[in-house]
Structures are given as structure tokens and as C-alpha cells.
């Protein structure tokens, strides 16, 4: 998806059309809501850029994140919309995010590997723990088999 200065007005006009026209489906509104749910921070934009999902000519990733976070304000999905083409994708993402292993991994990455310094601290703590265990094992061995 290519994002430029005209993306916000274009999406807003399409969403406004879908909101006003009763016979139209909610294709752009549901797509914009999906992007709003995927993109919360500039880091999310950077990940999507890295994967080649979006390309942007806007200045910073913060601008892209702000664009999608403000795009759907006041918009709603109609409940009588029979088939939402993104419904299965929403279900798959929700199902993936509800698995405990994925929650733990996300929390681990967010809390302990968010910055390079926290990553270095965790690695240093693990090394110190291993060295302490090795020292304890040698102390136990030296107690049971003293040197001659």
C-alpha cells in the first residue's frame, strides 16, 4: 500500500461515502479499521515498511501512525452487513493474539527487549546466573572430593 499526502482525504471520502450510502458495503471502512487496529505506534509502521506491506512518502512513521489512528473516528460498521470480507482475517488475528504463548512472547519482547540496554541487562543476568551455578557445582564437588 502506497501512502502519500492524498491517502488520508481519499480514505476519509470513501469512508464518508460508505457511511452515507445505504446500498454500499463497508469495504473501505472495515479495511481502515483493520489498519487502525494493526498500526498503533511508529514501530508498527516501521515493521510494516520492513515487510514491504506499506510504502510511505510522508516524513516520519509517526505521521503514518497518526493518520491511521485518526482515520476511523466516528465511523462504524453496519451490523446488517452480511459478509465482511475481512471477517476471517479479524478472527484469525484475534485467535492468534489470544494464545498464551504469543501473549508471553509479546510481553517478554516489550518488557525485557524493548531497548538495547534492557537486552544487554537480561543477557548479563543470564550469564551471571550460569556462572553462579557453575561456581556452586565446583564448590559441591570440592566438598565431596577434596583435593589431595
Q: What is the pLDDT of residues 69-86, one digit of tens each?
A: 888 877 767 654 545 677
> What does the pLDDT read at residue 36?
85
The whole-model pTM stands at: 0.62
The structural domain count of the chain equals 2
Residues 76 and 109 in one domain: no
Residues 90 and 53 in one domain: yes
Residues in Cβ contact with 61 at an 8 Å cutoff, skipping those fewer than 6 apart: 42, 43, 45, 46, 49
Residues 136 and 80 in one domain: no
Residues 31 and 93 in one domain: yes
Closest alpha carbon to 53 in 27, 32, 30, 35: 35
Residues 60 and 3 in one domain: yes
Residues 71 and 142 in one domain: no
Residues 130 and 119 in one domain: yes
Q: What is the pLDDT of residues 5-20, one digit of tens each?
A: 888 899 889 888 888 8
Residues 136 and 73 in one domain: no
Contacts 24+ apart (CB under 8 A), 138-142: none
Query: What is the rounded average pLDDT of the residues 21-39?
Result: 81
Q: Which domain holds residue 65?
A: 1-98
Amino acid at each position: 500500500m502506497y501512502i502519500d499526502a492524498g491517502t488520508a482525504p481519499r480514505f476519509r471520502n470513501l469512508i464518508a461515502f460508505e457511511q452515507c450510502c445505504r446500498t454500499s458495503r463497508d469495504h473501505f471502512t472495515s479495511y481502515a479499521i483493520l489498519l487502525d487496529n494493526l498500526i498503533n505506534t511508529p514501530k508498527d509502521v516501521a515493521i510494516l515498511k520492513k515487510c514491504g506491506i506499506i510504502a510511505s512518502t510522508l516524513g516520519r512513521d509517526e505521521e503514518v501512525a497518526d493518520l491511521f489512528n485518526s482515520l476511523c473516528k466516528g465511523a462504524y460498521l453496519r451490523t446488517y452487513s452480511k459478509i465482511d470480507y475481512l471477517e476471517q482475517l479479524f478472527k484469525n488475528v484475534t485467535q492468534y493474539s489470544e494464545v498464551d504463548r504469543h501473549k508471553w512472547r509479546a510481553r517478554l519482547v516489550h518488557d525485557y527487549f524493548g531497548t538495547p540496554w534492557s537486552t544487554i541487562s537480561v543477557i548479563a543476568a543470564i550469564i551471571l546466573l550460569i556462572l553462579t551455578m557453575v561456581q556452586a557445582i565446583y564448590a559441591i564437588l570440592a566438598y565431596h572430593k577434596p583435593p589431595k
